[in-house]
Amino acid sequence: CTEDISQLNIETKRPAAVPAPTLFSNAVKTISGSLASPSVNTNVFRFTVSHWAMSTYQDEAQYDFATRNIPQGWWTSMYRDVIADLRESAKLINADASLLPAEKANKLAIIDIMEVYTYSILVNTFGNIPYSESLNPAILFPKYDDAKTVSTDLINRLNADITKINTSAAGFASAEDLIYKGSVAKWLKFANTLRMKIGMVQADVDANVAKSAVEASDAGAISSAADNGLFTYMAASPNQNPLYVDIVLGGRSDYIAAKDLMDKLLGWNDPRTSAFFTPNNAGVYAGGIVGKGNTYVDFSRAGTKIIDASAPCVLADYVETEFLRAEAKERGFNVAGTAESHYNNAIRASIIYWGGSAADADAYLAQASVAYTTAAGDWKQKIGTQKWIALYNRPYEGWVELRRLDQPKISAPVGAKSGFPTRLTYAANEQTLNGTNYTAAASAIGGDVVTTKLYWDKF
């Protein structure tokens, strides 16, 4: 009887064993969804970086992150919905004795690259985070690790992954790899760009770490738009771009262009303007003030290119890589080319990505206020400003760069609930569930408030 009774507890409608790659694919889809989403419940960085403003409801634009538990959503999606699936996938691949060693190594390396990618978002959003004790079913209340230690380890892991990847062996199958359709070589480039990025974040506090990471990655990093890491959505439900789902299907008509960005676009006659935004009812482009009520019909809205159902989410691209190279030159790192050429490449690639022509790009770059040699300010201002524009629709990345480069200077929202957020507070759950570790982490970073600067944010 005992035997029979236990059978009743076996789940017959959900599997206890699944193919390993399916979990990797899901993790990739989930993180892309988080980065692409315009939901006021999770990803509100479009307002934070002054790319968008709101017509009516200003709370998130005014830096109210707590009411909708935005840090909780961001934190949980990264740990539970992305990293947990990556770990599970790696565990199953490790246990699969039938895989060829080189293919297994490639798959594990690619999974690890995505894990590093996700951890880098966590560490650059919150500061100290659970890392060495995270994702361990036996430790339900993990301690937090120092943010710099985590970042150093992330670079070490990428070093190892890059060494492990064997471009002549197979990786994931085309259908399983939703970013590079199975190209191991492109993952290698993605890893190099990622290493460059994580290294560069530390440039102001530890130039040596940045220098070695960037120099090691330069040659192997993304070298053209063909290497871009894109998660491309589908025209058909339920796999459409989250922007399409929210704005077109959901009928949201209260997101508008922000004045800061629109003024820059209009001031330099930017060829990307019509891709970024649509004109207002009167047929002209106009941006609203962040944090203030704006009559919707009077302002520009998200452009058709980004609210297209099958528009991609960018995880890594040539544009940002070239900006990093330009910056590296300015910081005196030993990379190929000149700062100007990388700066021009980045802007040109961005304009072309958004549908402009080479001639459009040339005309744009020919303006004295854009051209590298004549544009206003130091290299931080030139690169920062252009990168801020080019990171349109990559709001999380835009927020990292704004904090790191401190350029351009954006207007504070009307009715701001705090100073400019240089991090998100920890997930509310951590306070009540993981109190001891939370308290230690909060005090280690200098207080769990949005205006605490992360260790790399020196200026």
Partner 1 sequence: QSRVVTGKVTASEDGTALPGVSVSLKGTSRGVTTTADGSYKISIDNGAALQFSFVGYKPQTISVGSQSTINVVLVADAAELSEVVVTALGLTRTKNSLPYAAQQVKGDELTRVRTGNAFSALSGRVAGLQITQGNAIGGSTNVVIRGNKSLTGNNQALFVVDGVPVDNTNKNTANQQTGRGGYDYGNAAADINPDDIESMTVLKGAAATALYGSRASNGVIMITSKKAKKGLGLTINAGLTVGTIDKSTFATYQNQYGAGYSDPYQKDGFLYFDANGDGTKDLVINTAEDASYGTKFNPALMVYQWDSFDPAGPNYLKAKPYTAALNTPAKFYETAISNNVNVQLDGATDQGTFKLGYTRNDERGTLPNSNVSKNIMNLAGSYNISKKVTASAAANFSVIEGKGRYGSGYSGLNVNQNFRQWYQTNVDILDQKEAYFRNQQNVTWNWSDPSSAAGLKPIYTDNYYWTRYQNYQNDTRSRLFGNAMVNYKAADFLNFMGRVTVDTYNEFQEERIAVGSQGVPAYSRFDRTFQELNYDLMGNFDKEILTGLNLKALAGLNLRKSYIRSISAATNGGLIVPGLYSIANSRGTVSAPTENYNPREVFGVFGGLTFTYKDFLTLDGTIRQDKSSTLPVANNAYLYYAGSASWLFSHHIEDLPWLTSGKLRMNYATVGNDAPWGSIKNVYDKPDPFGSTILFSAPSTQNNPFLKPEQTQSKEIGLEMAFLQNRLGFDFTYYHTNTLDQILPASVSSATGFSSTYVNAGNIENKGFEVSLYASPIKTADFSWNVNVNWTKNSSLVLSLYNDSKNLQLATFQGGVSLNASVGQPYGILQGKTWKYVNGQKLVKSNGRYDVTATTTNNIGNVNPDWIGGINNSFKYKNVTLNFLIDMKRGGSVFSLDQYYGQATGVYPESVVVNDKGNPSRSPVAEGGGVIMPGVLADGSVNTIRVENDYGTFGYAQNPAAAFVYDASYIKLREANIVYSLPSSIVRKLGGVKGVDLSVFGRNLWIIQKYVPYADPEENLSSGNLQGNQSGAYPTTRSIGFNIKLLF
Query: Under rule CB under 8 A, which residues in 380-439 are in contact with partner 1?
Result: 417-418, 425, 427-437
C-beta closer to partner 1: residue 106 or 434: 434
On whether the CB atoms of residues 78 and 70 are closer than 8 A, the answer is no
Site string for partner 1, 168-207 (x = CB under 8 A): -------xx-x-----------------------------
Kindly state the smallest distance separating residue 150's Cβ from partner 1, in Å.
12
Determine which residue in the list 36, 114, 117, 130 makes contact with partner 1, applying CB under 8 A. Answer: 130
Q: How far is CA 400 from the centre of its chain?
A: 9
Kindly state the smallest distance separating residue 10's Cβ from partner 1, in Å.
8
User: In what helix (H) or strand (E) does residue 78 lie, and over which residues does it extend?
Assistant: none
Q: Which residue has the tokens 């930017």?
A: 270
Determine which residue in the list 102, 103, 104, 135 makes contact with partner 1, applying CB under 8 A. Answer: 135
23 binds partner 1 (CB under 8 A): yes
Kindly state the smallest distance separating residue 105's Cβ from partner 1, in Å.
23
Using only C-alpha atoms, what is the Rg of the chain? 22
On whether the CB atoms of residues 326 and 343 are closer than 8 A, the answer is yes
Stretch that binds partner 1, among 210-218, 233-241, 314-322, 362-370 (CB under 8 A): 233-241
| Positions 258 through 317 that interact with partner 1 (CB under 8 A) | 281, 293, 295-298
Q: Among 407, 397, 392, which residue's Cα sits nearest to residue 287?
A: 392
Kindly state the smallest distance separating residue 449's Cβ from partner 1, in Å.
7
Kindly state the smallest distance separating residue 437's Cβ from partner 1, in Å.
8
Q: From CA 179, how far away is CA 191, in angstroms rounded? A: 13
Stretch that binds partner 1, among 74-82, 195-203, 330-338, 389-397 (CB under 8 A): 74-82
Determine which residue in the list 15, 101, 283, 332 makes contact with partner 1, applying CB under 8 A. Answer: 15
Enter the tokens of residue 437: 């570790």
Determine which residue in the list 100, 139, 376, 440 makes contact with partner 1, applying CB under 8 A. Answer: 139
Task: Report the 10 Å Cβ neighbour count for 98.
Answer: 5
14 binds partner 1 (CB under 8 A): yes
Q: From CA 218, how far away is CA 335, in angstroms rounded? A: 6
Supply φ then ψ for residue 333, to 5 degrees. Answer: -80, 155
249 binds partner 1 (CB under 8 A): yes
With CB under 8 A as the rule, give the number of residues binding partner 1.
83
80 binds partner 1 (CB under 8 A): yes
3-state SS, residue 257: strand
Determine which residue in the list 44, 60, 85, 109 makes contact with partner 1, applying CB under 8 A. Answer: 85
Phi-psi label, residue 3: left if phi above 0, alpha if psi -120 to 50, beta otherwise: alpha
13 binds partner 1 (CB under 8 A): yes
* DSSP state string for 301-326: EE-TTTSSTTPEEEEE-HHHHHHHHH
Determine which residue in the list 37, 58, 202, 300 makes contact with partner 1, applying CB under 8 A. Answer: 58
Kindly state the smallest distance separating residue 285's Cβ from partner 1, in Å.
17
Determine which residue in the list 36, 44, 53, 83 makes contact with partner 1, applying CB under 8 A. Answer: 83
Kindly state the smallest distance separating residue 249's Cβ from partner 1, in Å.
5
Kindly state the smallest distance separating residue 428's Cβ from partner 1, in Å.
6
Q: From CA 239, how far away is CA 237, in angstroms rounded? A: 5
**Which whole-number Å values give the CA distances from 392 to 270, 276, 278, in the listed order?**
13, 8, 14
* DSSP state string for 193-247: HHHHHHHHHTTTT-HHHHHHHHHHHHTTS--SGGG-EEEE--SSTTSS-HHIIII
Amino acid identity, residue 196?
M
Stretch that binds partner 1, among 236-244, 315-323, 363-371, 390-398 (CB under 8 A): 236-244
98 binds partner 1 (CB under 8 A): no
Q: Among 288, 214, 210, which residue's Cα sits nearest to residue 255?
A: 288
C-beta closer to partner 1: residue 59 or 327: 59
* Beta pairing, strands 312-316 & 229-232: antiparallel
On whether the CB atoms of residues 151 and 454 are closer than 8 A, the answer is no
95 binds partner 1 (CB under 8 A): no
